[in-house]
Amino acid sequence: MITGIIMASGFAKRMKKDKLTLDFKGISIIERVIRAVKESNVDEIILVYREEEIKKIGIKNGIKTVFNNKSELGQSESIRLGINASPSQTKGFMFFVGDQPFLESVIIDKLIDTFKEKNTNIVVPIYKNKKGNPVIFSYKLKDELLKLKGDIGGKNIIRKRYNDVEFVHFDNDRSRIDIDTWDEYIKWR
Protein backbone atom coordinates (compact mmCIF):
# COMPACT_ATOMS: atom_id res chain seq x y z
CA MET A 1 0.00 0.00 0.00
CA ILE A 2 1.27 3.45 -0.98
CA THR A 3 0.05 6.42 1.04
CA GLY A 4 0.25 9.79 -0.66
CA ILE A 5 0.80 12.67 1.74
CA ILE A 6 0.11 16.09 0.22
CA MET A 7 1.89 18.74 2.25
CA ALA A 8 -0.25 21.88 2.01
CA SER A 9 0.28 23.71 5.28
CA GLY A 10 3.14 26.07 4.52
CA PHE A 11 3.10 29.85 4.75
CA ALA A 12 4.09 30.71 1.14
CA LYS A 13 6.54 33.32 2.41
CA ARG A 14 8.03 34.03 -1.02
CA MET A 15 4.57 34.47 -2.56
CA LYS A 16 3.27 36.53 0.39
CA LYS A 17 -0.24 35.11 -0.10
CA ASP A 18 -1.92 31.72 -0.03
CA LYS A 19 -0.77 30.42 -3.38
CA LEU A 20 -2.45 27.01 -3.17
CA THR A 21 -5.94 28.44 -3.70
CA LEU A 22 -4.95 30.65 -6.64
CA ASP A 23 -6.72 29.85 -9.90
CA PHE A 24 -4.54 27.91 -12.31
CA LYS A 25 -6.19 27.22 -15.66
CA GLY A 26 -9.66 26.96 -14.16
CA ILE A 27 -9.00 25.23 -10.83
CA SER A 28 -6.82 25.95 -7.81
CA ILE A 29 -3.18 24.91 -7.71
CA ILE A 30 -3.81 22.49 -4.82
CA GLU A 31 -6.76 20.89 -6.62
CA ARG A 32 -4.56 20.22 -9.66
CA VAL A 33 -2.17 18.30 -7.40
CA ILE A 34 -5.02 16.44 -5.69
CA ARG A 35 -6.49 15.40 -9.04
CA ALA A 36 -3.15 14.09 -10.30
CA VAL A 37 -2.74 12.02 -7.13
CA LYS A 38 -6.33 10.73 -7.31
CA GLU A 39 -5.80 9.65 -10.95
CA SER A 40 -2.69 7.69 -9.97
CA ASN A 41 -2.15 4.31 -8.32
CA VAL A 42 -1.73 5.83 -4.84
CA ASP A 43 -3.86 3.75 -2.45
CA GLU A 44 -4.59 6.32 0.27
CA ILE A 45 -4.39 10.12 0.11
CA ILE A 46 -3.86 12.40 3.10
CA LEU A 47 -3.94 16.19 2.79
CA VAL A 48 -2.09 18.02 5.56
CA TYR A 49 -3.51 21.54 5.70
CA ARG A 50 -3.37 24.77 7.71
CA GLU A 51 -6.05 26.90 6.03
CA GLU A 52 -9.75 26.01 6.16
CA GLU A 53 -10.11 26.64 2.41
CA ILE A 54 -7.56 23.88 1.70
CA LYS A 55 -9.49 21.48 3.96
CA LYS A 56 -12.70 22.25 2.03
CA ILE A 57 -10.98 21.42 -1.26
CA GLY A 58 -9.76 18.14 0.20
CA ILE A 59 -13.21 17.20 1.50
CA LYS A 60 -14.78 18.15 -1.86
CA ASN A 61 -12.36 15.70 -3.49
CA GLY A 62 -13.16 12.94 -0.99
CA ILE A 63 -9.73 12.66 0.60
CA LYS A 64 -8.63 12.46 4.21
CA THR A 65 -7.60 15.79 5.74
CA VAL A 66 -5.34 16.41 8.74
CA PHE A 67 -4.99 19.82 10.38
CA ASN A 68 -1.46 21.07 11.07
CA ASN A 69 -1.62 23.35 14.09
CA LYS A 70 2.19 23.57 14.27
CA SER A 71 2.95 24.70 10.71
CA GLU A 72 5.66 27.01 12.01
CA LEU A 73 7.77 23.88 12.69
CA GLY A 74 8.17 23.43 8.93
CA GLN A 75 7.82 20.49 6.55
CA SER A 76 8.89 18.01 9.23
CA GLU A 77 5.58 18.58 11.04
CA SER A 78 3.57 17.82 7.88
CA ILE A 79 5.64 14.68 7.39
CA ARG A 80 5.01 13.58 10.97
CA LEU A 81 1.26 14.25 10.79
CA GLY A 82 0.93 12.48 7.45
CA ILE A 83 2.80 9.40 8.63
CA ASN A 84 0.85 9.21 11.89
CA ALA A 85 -2.45 9.43 9.96
CA SER A 86 -1.41 6.68 7.51
CA PRO A 87 -2.85 3.17 7.62
CA SER A 88 -0.71 0.56 9.37
CA GLN A 89 -0.49 -1.40 6.08
CA THR A 90 1.45 1.40 4.38
CA LYS A 91 4.61 0.13 2.68
CA GLY A 92 5.60 3.47 1.18
CA PHE A 93 5.01 7.10 2.08
CA MET A 94 4.86 9.27 -1.03
CA PHE A 95 5.31 12.96 -0.25
CA PHE A 96 3.80 15.61 -2.50
CA VAL A 97 4.15 19.38 -2.36
CA GLY A 98 0.92 21.30 -2.86
CA ASP A 99 2.29 23.78 -5.39
CA GLN A 100 3.29 21.49 -8.28
CA PRO A 101 0.42 22.11 -10.74
CA PHE A 102 1.92 20.32 -13.76
CA LEU A 103 2.40 17.00 -11.96
CA GLU A 104 0.84 14.10 -13.88
CA SER A 105 -0.44 10.74 -12.73
CA VAL A 106 1.86 8.91 -15.19
CA ILE A 107 4.87 10.35 -13.34
CA ILE A 108 3.43 9.25 -10.00
CA ASP A 109 2.70 5.76 -11.32
CA LYS A 110 6.20 5.34 -12.75
CA LEU A 111 7.68 6.21 -9.34
CA ILE A 112 5.33 3.74 -7.60
CA ASP A 113 6.16 1.01 -10.12
CA THR A 114 9.88 1.57 -9.54
CA PHE A 115 9.41 1.45 -5.76
CA LYS A 116 7.59 -1.88 -6.02
CA GLU A 117 9.79 -3.47 -8.70
CA LYS A 118 13.16 -2.47 -7.24
CA ASN A 119 12.11 -3.06 -3.63
CA THR A 120 14.13 0.00 -2.67
CA ASN A 121 13.90 2.29 0.37
CA ILE A 122 13.74 5.64 -1.45
CA VAL A 123 12.59 6.70 -4.92
CA VAL A 124 13.44 10.17 -6.22
CA PRO A 125 12.39 11.66 -9.56
CA ILE A 126 15.00 13.41 -11.72
CA TYR A 127 13.53 15.89 -14.19
CA LYS A 128 16.20 16.77 -16.79
CA ASN A 129 19.03 16.36 -14.26
CA LYS A 130 17.22 18.10 -11.36
CA LYS A 131 15.85 16.27 -8.33
CA GLY A 132 12.20 16.93 -7.63
CA ASN A 133 9.00 15.68 -6.05
CA PRO A 134 7.17 13.51 -5.21
CA VAL A 135 9.55 11.27 -3.28
CA ILE A 136 8.72 7.83 -1.87
CA PHE A 137 10.19 6.56 1.40
CA SER A 138 9.78 2.97 2.57
CA TYR A 139 7.94 2.30 5.82
CA LYS A 140 11.31 0.96 7.04
CA LEU A 141 12.43 4.60 7.29
CA LYS A 142 9.39 5.67 9.30
CA ASP A 143 11.35 6.27 12.52
CA GLU A 144 13.94 8.38 10.71
CA LEU A 145 11.21 10.43 9.05
CA LEU A 146 9.46 11.00 12.37
CA LYS A 147 12.69 12.37 13.86
CA LEU A 148 13.08 15.10 11.21
CA LYS A 149 13.14 18.70 12.42
CA GLY A 150 12.60 21.98 10.61
CA ASP A 151 11.73 22.81 7.03
CA ILE A 152 14.09 20.58 5.03
CA GLY A 153 11.96 17.51 4.47
CA GLY A 154 13.74 14.23 3.79
CA LYS A 155 16.85 15.63 2.07
CA ASN A 156 19.17 14.58 4.89
CA ILE A 157 17.83 11.03 4.83
CA ILE A 158 18.36 10.88 1.07
CA ARG A 159 21.95 12.14 1.50
CA LYS A 160 22.69 9.74 4.33
CA ARG A 161 21.16 6.75 2.54
CA TYR A 162 22.30 7.59 -0.98
CA ASN A 163 22.96 3.91 -1.76
CA ASP A 164 19.34 3.12 -0.92
CA VAL A 165 17.99 5.62 -3.47
CA GLU A 166 16.56 4.66 -6.82
CA PHE A 167 16.48 7.63 -9.20
CA VAL A 168 13.84 7.71 -11.94
CA HIS A 169 14.65 9.97 -14.88
CA PHE A 170 12.05 11.95 -16.80
CA ASP A 171 12.55 14.02 -19.96
CA ASN A 172 9.60 16.20 -18.99
CA ASP A 173 10.88 18.85 -16.60
CA ARG A 174 7.59 20.74 -16.64
CA SER A 175 6.15 18.32 -14.05
CA ARG A 176 8.89 19.43 -11.64
CA ILE A 177 7.80 23.07 -11.65
CA ASP A 178 6.46 24.40 -8.40
CA ILE A 179 5.02 27.87 -7.93
CA ASP A 180 6.93 29.84 -5.30
CA THR A 181 6.66 33.48 -6.40
CA TRP A 182 4.08 35.77 -7.98
CA ASP A 183 6.26 36.07 -11.11
CA GLU A 184 6.32 32.27 -11.48
CA TYR A 185 2.56 32.17 -11.06
CA ILE A 186 2.06 34.79 -13.77
CA LYS A 187 4.52 33.02 -16.07
CA TRP A 188 2.98 29.54 -15.78
CA ARG A 189 -0.75 30.09 -15.29
Tens digits of residue pLDDT in 157-177: 999 998 899 999 998 776 666
- This prediction's pTM: 0.90
List CB contacts of 32: < 8 A, sequence separation 6 or more. Answer: 24, 25, 101, 102, 103
In this structure, is the dihedral angle defined by the CA atoms of residues 168, 142, 38 and 33, taken in order, positive or negative? negative
CA distance 127 to 31: 22
Taking residue 64's Cβ as centre, other Cβ atoms within 10 Å add up to 17
E strands within the chain? 2-8, 23-24, 27-28, 44-49, 64-67, 92-97, 122-127, 130-131, 135-138, 165-170
Tens digits of residue pLDDT in 38-61: 999 999 999 999 999 999 999 999
From first to last of its 189 residues, the chain has per-residue pLDDT tens of 999 999 988 655 555 557 787 677 788 889 999 999 999 999 999 999 999 999 999 999 999 999 999 888 778 899 999 999 999 999 999 999 988 888 899 999 999 999 999 989 999 999 888 888 999 999 999 999 999 887 777 888 999 998 899 999 998 776 666 666 556 656 556
Name the H helices within 39-160.
52-60, 75-84, 105-118, 142-146, 155-160
Hey, which CATH number is domain 2-188, 3.30.70.1350, 3.90.550.10, 3.40.630.40, 3.40.50.1580?
Answer: 3.90.550.10
pLDDT reported for residue 74: 79
